[in-house]
Amino acid sequence: MSLVGKKAPNFSAKAVINGHEIVDGFSLDQYIGKQHVIFFFYPLDFTFVCPTELIAFQRKMDEFEKRNVAVIGCSIDSEFSHWAWLNTEQNKGGIKGVKYPIVSDLTKTISENYEVLAGEYDYNENGEAVFNGAPVAYRGLFLIDKDGIVRHQVVNDLPLGRSVDEALRVVDALQHFEQYGEVCPADWHKGDDAMKASSDGVADYLASH
């Protein structure tokens, strides 16, 4: 189910910030009223596609910061796994140099609440707890506005890396709408002409929600 238009599920979890510091009680509440947030999930540390994505986000951090957007990653690995990966050189499979926060979802509850967990718990015929599917998160990405509302989401299957440029494009579209009240057509990019509000009240409704 889509979370678009709904309050982003809250959480308090361990995270690694600034590439080396483990903190308790990391939450998205700190960004309410201050910044837009790109909150993205990836399957696992020390894998193949995942480091390309996390490093790609870091390489575009100047662009996100220009737009006053916080970038936060999350996987089901422990904070210690995150720390080790963040302190491993990139030429050895690590992501050293990544500075934005990476959240630990060891219990998988954050992934479940954002509906990106690639499987589910169940019971077999012997009454034993089992997990059907992959016990990791799909490649979900959520754009959350300053009110804590999810305004955009996209979820890729495990083999499919996502586009950081597309994430920036959607940020630009949302911020253009918030600033000018104009809606953005297909393939719109910053600097392109947008569309004026229609007279049927649809745009006014969208602007108020």
**Contact assessment for residue 82 and residue 16, using Cβ atoms and an 8 Å cutoff:** yes
Three-state DSSP state, 117:
strand
Residue from 50, 74, 102, 137 carrying the catalytic annotation: 50
C-alpha angle 26/150/15, rounded to 5°? 15
List the beta strands (DSSP E) in the chain.
13-17, 21-26, 36-41, 69-75, 102-104, 117-123, 129-137, 139-144, 150-156
Distance between terminal CA atoms of the chain?
Answer: 19
**What is the rounded CA–CA span in Å between residue 117 and residue 26?**
20
Strand partners, 139: 156
User: Which residues in 86-105 are b (16+ Cβ under 10 Å) and which e?
Assistant: bebeeeeebbeebebbbbbb
Q: How far is CA 86 from CA 56, 64, 78, 161, in A?
A: 14, 20, 12, 20
- The answer to whether 74 is a known catalytic residue is no
Active site members: 50
